[in-house]
């Protein structure tokens, strides 16, 4: 009862609210976790004229390079109705759409480096803004502390949870090399660079959220279904709550 009331007040109250962003920072207490609701930014200059919507979202970051994130995200979408936003896919879309950032993104991905936050955050926020769904899987982002801080500053809150797919290097290399999607970064040279970048820049993001109790570490070795059985309870905890379903 208490749980239901808490979620309801935290999500429903915010829908169509025109209040200032400070109200979005109230914690939502669900089960034993304390989550912050995730507001939508009000930065018109960042959004190319897309009108802001003051609606609270449930945000999940999904991390772990070449670990099967995208594969598991598809199952989470199917089972729990999230909107899946792959940061890598959004960046690759920019390359083929002749965007002014296209060649910079192509070079950065080829070298396994990280695209500047202002570009990636803008692409992600545009997708969030234009979606009717309020539950998001943000796959492959944030890739660095700079990414994380940029996102949190614009959004004004943290993600609700972080899924980290923990995959041994050897397995990750095997999977990526047999992915067969024609990706410019799925070659051994770039993979080695991506792994270095992961340890140097992405690992601190996971450590940061781990200290806040937000990280759900998933053993990424096994069949797709076996791995999903570890993922399922993370979201199933929310699914039985009618108010969360409505989010």
Interacting residues toward ligand UDP by CB under 6 A? 65-66, 69-70, 86-88, 91, 108-109, 112-115, 120, 140-141, 143, 147, 185, 194
Number of residues in contact with ligand ADP under rule CB under 6 A: 12
**Which residue, 3 or 126, is less far from ligand UDP as judged by CB?**
126
Exposed e or buried b per residue across 202-226, where buried means at least 16 C-beta atoms within 10 angstroms of its C-beta: beebbebbeeeebbbebebeeeeee
Q: Report, in Å, the least distance between residue 100 CB and ligand UDP.
A: 16
Which among ligand ADP, ligand UDP, Mg ion, none contacts residue 115 (Cβ within 5 to 8 A by kind)? ligand UDP
Q: Which stretch binds ligand ADP (CB under 6 A): 45-53, 64-72, 100-108, 129-137?
A: 64-72
Largest CA distance in the chain: 54
Among 38-46, 204-212, 223-231, 234-242, the segment contacting ligand ADP (CB under 6 A): 223-231
Structural element, H or E, at residue 59? strand 58-63
The dihedral built from the CA positions of residue 110, 188, 173 and 197, taken in this order, carries a sign that is negative
Task: Give the Cα separation of 231 and 236 in Å (integer).
Answer: 9
194 near ligand ADP, rule: CB under 6 A: no
Distance CA 128, CA 41 (A): 10
- Kindly report the CA angle at 169 between 166 and 171, in degrees rounded to 5? 85
Asked if 112 touches ligand ADP (CB under 6 A), the answer is no
Q: Which one among 70, 112, 156, 159 touches Mg ion, defined by CB under 5 A?
A: 70
- Kindly tell me the sign of the dihedral angle through the C-alpha atoms of 221, 225, 226, 230: positive
Tokens of 193: 């660079």
Quote the Cα angle for 211-217-218, to 5°. Answer: 175
Out of 54, 57, 69, 122, name the contact with ligand ADP by CB under 6 A. Answer: 69
> Which one of ligand ADP, ligand UDP, Mg ion, none is in contact with 91 (Cβ closer than 5 to 8 A by kind)?
ligand UDP
Out of 2, 211, 223, 233, the only residue in the binding site for ligand ADP (CB under 6 A) is 223
Q: Does 183 bind ligand ADP (CB under 6 A)?
A: no
Give which of ligand ADP, ligand UDP, Mg ion, none residue 50 binds (C-beta under 5 to 8 Å, depending on kind). Answer: none
CA 136, CA 116: separation in Å to the nearest integer? 22
Binding site for ligand ADP (CB under 6 A): 66-71, 175, 179, 222-224, 227
């Amino acid at each position: 009862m208490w749980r239901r009331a808490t979620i309801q007040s935290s999500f429903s109250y915010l829908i169509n609210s025109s209040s200032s962003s400070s109200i979005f920072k109230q914690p939502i207490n669900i089960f034993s976790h304390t989550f912050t609701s995730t507001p939508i930014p009000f930065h018109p200059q960042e959004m190319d004229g897309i009108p802001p919507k003051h609606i609270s979202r449930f945000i999940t970051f999904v991390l772990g390079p070449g670990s099967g994130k995208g594969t598991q995200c598809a199952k989470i979408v199917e089972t729990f109705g999230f909107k899946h936003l792959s940061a890598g896919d959004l960046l690759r879309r920019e390359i083929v759409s002749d965007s002014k950032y296209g060649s910079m993104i192509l070079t950065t991905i080829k070298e396994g480096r990280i695209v500047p936050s202002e570009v990636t955050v803008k692409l992600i926020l545009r997708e969030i803004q234009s979606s009717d769904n309020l539950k998001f899987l943000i796959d492959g982002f944030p890739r660095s502390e700079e990414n994380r801080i940029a996102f949190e500053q614009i959004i004004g809150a943290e993600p609700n949870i972080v899924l980290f797919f923990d995959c041994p290097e050897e397995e990750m290399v095997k999977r990526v090399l047999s992915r067969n999607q024609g990706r410019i970064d799925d070659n051994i040279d770039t993979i080695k660079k991506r792994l270095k970048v992961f340890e140097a820049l992405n690992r601190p993001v996971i450590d940061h959220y781990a200290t806040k109790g937000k990280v759900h570490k998933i053993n990424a070795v096994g069949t797709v279904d076996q791995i999903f059985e570890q993922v399922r309870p993370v979201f199933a905890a929310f699914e039985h709550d009618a108010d969360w379903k409505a989010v």
